[in-house]
Amino acid sequence: MKTEILKLLRESGDYISGQELCSLFGVSRTAVWKVINQLKEEGYGIEAVQNKGYRLRLNPDVLSYSELKSRIRNNWAGSEIYYYEETGSTNIDAKRLGEEGAAHGTIVVADKQNAGRGRRGRAWQSPAGKDIYFTILLRPSFKPDKASGLTLVMALSVAQAVERKCSLKAGIKWPNDVVLNGKKICGILTEMNMETDYIQHVVIGVGINVNLDEMPEEISQTATSILRERGEKTARAELLQEVLVRFEENYGMYEKELDLSYMLEEYNSYLVNVGKQVKVLDPKGEFEGIARGINASGELLIETPDGKVAEVYAGEVSVRGMYGYV
């Protein structure tokens, strides 16, 4: 009932009488009053006026099950929500749920992670009350060799959402980082459970620096947050919902086309590596060249000094900017 009352208050924009709420949910005024008090304790500014009812006056940056459930209206992305105030890793939680049969589109969201990981096992700092940490569980119908493109689909979705909700020009550092002004705000970690020729499930973990205001000096050289770039706080649940809206749309196209041709032009417009000198850290041998964008398979195209174009696969190598993070 709490989720439904919160949704009604947000969508109304005006007063809703206590009697109306009682009638809608078939409960007593005392039960409604208790729910209103719970929402107030969570930080919602709810005004109560005699003979008028209740009105949502202040919608704070609350990340909770009720807040997410009252916002997410997608067909499948976020259809089931598991929310934790603190967990080790949302990816680990999502993989467990995948083994237990959780549905396609299930999301795991945490206010804090104490064992977050990035690509190649790197630690990911995850303080409470500041940022977005979530994982989406997928059960694709396509073959395992197409799963690598999902990281790029999510990166585009995050960049689109940040641009739309925060009015900031985001960029993508291939393959799994989203940046603002050349500094990282988002990391993406995709993991797959598969058999020989089919996918059991895929989990895509996303960490977005949203309202992080302080960073160690060594980290601030290459990372930032939306708050630091925008100068004001962003409602995390609202941004997360926009990411899911964009991802559901982009995933649908990827599943239909089985490549990135539909988003190639737009993705390359976000790609901060394009036209820049980069170093490819390939186990078979490092080399340098100029990034020319991605192809429909999601490989980064590198023009080498001899004029040839190398196709770089994300799972095998890392790409570093020659003169900085990007």
Mean pLDDT along residues 39-53: 86
CB 155 within 8 A of CB 175: yes
pLDDT of residue 114: 83
**φ, ψ of residue 73 in degrees (nearest 5):** -130, 30
Higher-pLDDT residue of 70 and 284 is: 70
Q: What is the dihedral of CA 307, 274, 156, 195, to 10 degrees?
A: 30
Q: Which of 274, 251, 262 shows the shortest CA–CA distance to 202?
A: 251
Structure confidence at residue 311 (pLDDT): 93
Q: Give me the residues paired with residue 194 across strands.
A: 199
Domains of the chain: 2-58 (1.10.10.10), 65-269 (3.30.930.10), 273-321 (2.30.30.100)
In the predicted structure, residue 201 carries a pLDDT above the cut 70: yes
For residue 188, pLDDT over 90 is answered with yes
Give me the sign of the Cα torsion angle 161, 153, 263, 291: positive
Written as six digits, the tokens of 262 are 């539909």
Helix or strand holding residue 159 (H, E) = helix 149-166
Kindly report, residue by residue over 126-154, the tens digit of the pLDDT.
678 899 999 999 999 999 999 999 999 99
227 contacts 233 by C-beta, under 8 angstroms: yes
Please state the rounded mean pLDDT for residues 200-204: 97
Question: How would residue 116 be classed by pLDDT, with cut points 50, 70 and 90?
Answer: low
Q: How many CB atoms lie within 10 A of CB 165?
A: 17
Residue range 220-242, pLDDT digits in tens: 889 999 999 999 999 999 999 99
Cα 33 to Cα 35: distance, rounded to the nearest angstrom: 5
User: For residue 140, is the peptide bond before it cis, meaning its omega torsion is within 30 degrees of 0?
Assistant: no
| Residue (of 5, 22, 15) closest to 55 by Cα position | 15
**Is 194 in contact with 144 (CB distance < 8 Å)?**
yes
> For position 120, what pLDDT does the model report?
47
Stated pTM of the model: 0.88
What is the CA angle 243-152-176, rounded to 5?
A: 90
For the chain, how far is it from start to end, CA to CA, in angstroms? 47
Burial of 86 (0-12, 13-18, 19+ CB in 10 A): exposed
- Which amino acid would we find at residue 214? E
Q: 47 forms bridges with which residues in the sheet?
A: 55
Please state at what angle helix 29-41 crosses helix 18-25, rounded to 10 degrees. Answer: 110
Q: How far apart are CA 195 and CA 236, in angstroms?
A: 36
